[in-house]
Chain A
Amino acid sequence: METFIQQLINGLTVGSLYALVALGYTMVYGVMKLINFAHGDLVAFSAYVGLTIFTQFYGSNALTLVNIVIVFSLTSIVVAFMGVLLERLAYRPLRTAPRLSAVVSALGASLVIQNGIMLIWGPNMEIFPSDIFPSTTWNFGGVLISYTQFVILALSAFLMVSLYLFINKTKIGTAIRATAIDQDAAKLMGINVNRIVMIIFIVGSMLGAIGGLFIGVYYRGLTFDMGWMYGLNAFIAAIIGGIGSIPGAMLGGLLLGLFNAMISGYISTEWAETFTFILLIIILIVRPAGLLGHNVAEKV
């Protein structure tokens, strides 16, 4: 039973990382109907940027809370800027082009960011310092929760609730939802679609940046091509929840994290990815619109 609860906690932690990244995918897909393949590499980029800021400015001493907040905000701002740049250069010129062109452009942008990381930071693995958060671990009757896990769970929950309120309760959120439903109608209602797309890339990239920093803090090892795998997992999470749906991405992320933890805990770590993709294919066959998505009939 303790192993089960332990895997549950680990799964929720990994799941909230997936959820943070998945939100970026699902928001872009919801509005632009485009798989933003470069999002995973932005996440990897944010981990590297965060690492550089940590080591450059603060050395490897234990950090105060204020410093951590500064590093997190600085990194999110840099990555948000990258996200907006990405949209301007690679996606905006293709808004009306055939859909496959945008997919190829996204793949190209992903290659550029991935190899840009390799050229800047080198092809070898970089290690995140281990003492960013205190190494305290709480023991609840055999179940261990580390300080890092607690921060990840708490901050992710806070960010997701804020995003939910932002999308559902504010004027900009309403505009985002309207644009996702029908771009042309939204334009007629006086919504500046270009601005909405920019806001989506800012918010998505910032959430991805936090996710990337957490990946660094939690897993510690960074490689330049890690964006692919985290990106794919997060994207699968978005599909499981129902792509385009924001609560769906959160739910999908948590479920996928739990699923991964249970598979690695009880069945096999060698075949973990295979199980993930089998789950994805089953979901696609049984319920292509995802758990919380809606099936939209094709219009002629």
Chain B
Amino acid sequence: MNNKTTITIAFLAIMAFLPLLADSAWLSIGITFLVFAVVAFSQDIILGRAGVFNMGHAIFFGIGAYTTAILNVHFGLEIIYTIPFAIIFSAIIAVLLAGPIIHLKGDYFLVATIGFNIIFEQVLSNDIFGLTGGPNGIFGIDVIRIFGYELFSDTAIYYIAFGLLIITLFIIRNLDNSKYGRALYYINKDEIAAKSMGINVPYYKLFAFALGASIAGVAGSVFAIQYSAVSPESFNFMQSVMFFAIVLVGGSASLPGVIIGTFVMFVLPELFTEFKESRYLIFGAAMVLTMILRPNGVWPVTFGNIPKFLRPKKGAK
């Protein structure tokens, strides 16, 4: 039982018992935290583990949410059956968007994904095919039903989000221990070396991209269920910047880091509503300061299950 497992279990135990202590306001903050933590972890797979500079992550979060909303409201599909579609659509669109540009160098990829996000916003707010509902979005999404039980209470949604977080952490753990995880680790450390060792770099990057996108898609579904409505501004470019910053400010490829990042960026603003006006000003200053003081993020980077003798020495890049 190492340090990392202890932290994970302690964190999950606290989150599991939160609904017993919290009132409804705290509970909905808790759901928000869990959903955004899942999105942040999925971004961490893409940005932290694969080293792909993705600044359009809100797209996949949005595709999940809109898939659930459109299939439920326009086609009358039960919520529970929309979730597989959310996963598949997010993954397919991720591959279609990133496929042609996956070979681009960091900054160029970053700008292209910004472009995708702006196009996505326009598609949503121009009410394409009469499906996305324009700038107001889609209202009146059904409650989730599983085996005939209606799960409409906040507590039920909380535990759905909590379950999703556990599944996500499980996926990440297995990823780190797998051939794919090791390949991504080497690609992130030194792409040219990885390529010359025979690792198919575009394939693994695209795999990470699709995996992260599909997890974000499920989180989007839960987000749509929580608010029973979706609108374009939840998935705009600013959100993508936040998802990007969470991972890097917290500490990429680090569980406590991503949790801290999510907490600071999405939970603190809910608690200090009186600072709402100057909230982004403080965020911005905090982002600059964190990067100057800890360029690798708040929490020390951990490397998954890489053998000790392979770990980089201190001070090495």
- Stretch among B61-69, B103-111, B156-164, B203-211 lining the A interface: B103-111
Please give the distance in Å from B119's CB to the nearest CB on chain A. 5
The answer to whether A107 and B287 touch across the interface, beta carbons within 8 angstroms, is yes
The answer to whether A274 and B248 touch across the interface, beta carbons within 8 angstroms, is no
Interface residues of B in 205-244 (CB under 8 A from A): 237, 241, 244
**Does A57 sit at the interface, judged by CB under 8 A?**
no
What string of 1s and 0s marks CB contacts (under 8 Å) between A209-251 and chain B?
0000000000000000000100010011001000000000000
The answer to whether A111 and B295 touch across the interface, beta carbons within 8 angstroms, is no
The answer to whether B287 and A102 touch across the interface, beta carbons within 8 angstroms, is no
With beta carbons under 8 angstroms apart, the residue of B112, B241, B288 that contacts A105 is B288
The answer to whether A285 and B241 touch across the interface, beta carbons within 8 angstroms, is no
What bracket does the count of chain A residues touching chain B fall in? Answer: 35 or more
Please give the distance in Å from A39's CB to the nearest CB on chain B. 14
Please give the distance in Å from A190's CB to the nearest CB on chain B. 28
Chain A neighbourhood of B274, CB < 8 A: none
**Does A189 sit at the interface, judged by CB under 8 A?**
no
Tell me, in angstroms, the Cα distance from A169 to B278 when the chains sit together.
Answer: 46
The answer to whether A280 and B292 touch across the interface, beta carbons within 8 angstroms, is no
The answer to whether A100 and B53 touch across the interface, beta carbons within 8 angstroms, is yes
**Contact of A94 with B295 at beta-carbon distance under 8 Å, contacts A115-B280, A300-B192 already known:** yes
The answer to whether B281 and A101 touch across the interface, beta carbons within 8 angstroms, is no
**Does A270 sit at the interface, judged by CB under 8 A?**
yes
Tell me, in angstroms, the Cα distance from A236 to B287 when the chains sit together.
Answer: 25
What string of 1s and 0s marks CB contacts (under 8 Å) between A253-290 and chain B?
00000000000000000110110011011001100100
The answer to whether B283 and A235 touch across the interface, beta carbons within 8 angstroms, is no
The answer to whether A284 and B104 touch across the interface, beta carbons within 8 angstroms, is yes
**Does A119 sit at the interface, judged by CB under 8 A?**
yes
Chain B neighbourhood of A102, CB < 8 A: 291
**Contact of A281 with B101 at beta-carbon distance under 8 Å, contacts A111-B280, A111-B281, A114-B280 already known:** yes
**Does B245 sit at the interface, judged by CB under 8 A?**
yes
Chain A neighbourhood of B286, CB < 8 A: 108
The answer to whether A108 and B278 touch across the interface, beta carbons within 8 angstroms, is no
Please give the distance in Å from A295's CB to the nearest CB on chain B. 11
**Does B178 sit at the interface, judged by CB under 8 A?**
no
What string of 1s and 0s marks CB contacts (under 8 Å) between B104-143 and chain A?
1111101110111011001100100000000000000000
Tell me, in angstroms, the Cα distance from A296 to B295 when the chains sit together.
Answer: 27
* Residue among B112, B192, B277, B284 having the largest count of chain A Cβ atoms under 10 Å: B284
With beta carbons under 8 angstroms apart, the residue of B114, B287, B296 that contacts A98 is B296
**Does B197 sit at the interface, judged by CB under 8 A?**
no
The answer to whether A101 and B126 touch across the interface, beta carbons within 8 angstroms, is no
The answer to whether B296 and A101 touch across the interface, beta carbons within 8 angstroms, is yes
Tell me, in angstroms, the Cα distance from A115 to B280 when the chains sit together.
Answer: 7
Chain A neighbourhood of B25, CB < 8 A: none
With beta carbons under 8 angstroms apart, the residue of A104, A113, A115, A277 that contacts B118 is A277
Please give the distance in Å from A68's CB to the nearest CB on chain B. 32
**Does B249 sit at the interface, judged by CB under 8 A?**
yes
**Does B198 sit at the interface, judged by CB under 8 A?**
no
The answer to whether A101 and B295 touch across the interface, beta carbons within 8 angstroms, is yes
Please give the distance in Å from A86's CB to the nearest CB on chain B. 10
Minimal Cβ-Cβ distance residue in B for A275: B119
Chain A neighbourhood of B316, CB < 8 A: none
**Does B285 sit at the interface, judged by CB under 8 A?**
yes
Please give the distance in Å from A112's CB to the nearest CB on chain B. 4
Per CB-CB distance, the 10 closest pairs between chain A and chain B, nearest first, are A108-B287, A111-B284, A277-B115, A112-B284, A97-B295, A115-B281, A101-B295, A108-B288, A105-B291, A108-B284
Task: List 27 interface pairs A-B (beta carbons < 8 Å), by A numbering.
Answer: A35-B111, A93-B292, A100-B53, A100-B248, A100-B252, A101-B248, A102-B291, A103-B110, A104-B291, A105-B292, A107-B244, A108-B245, A108-B283, A108-B287, A111-B281, A111-B283, A111-B284, A115-B281, A119-B281, A271-B126, A273-B118, A273-B119, A273-B122, A274-B122, A277-B118, A284-B112, A285-B101
* 11 more CB-based (< 8 A) A-B contacts, given A105-B288, A274-B119: A35-B111, A98-B317, A103-B53, A104-B248, A107-B245, A108-B245, A109-B288, A119-B277, A119-B281, A273-B119, A273-B122
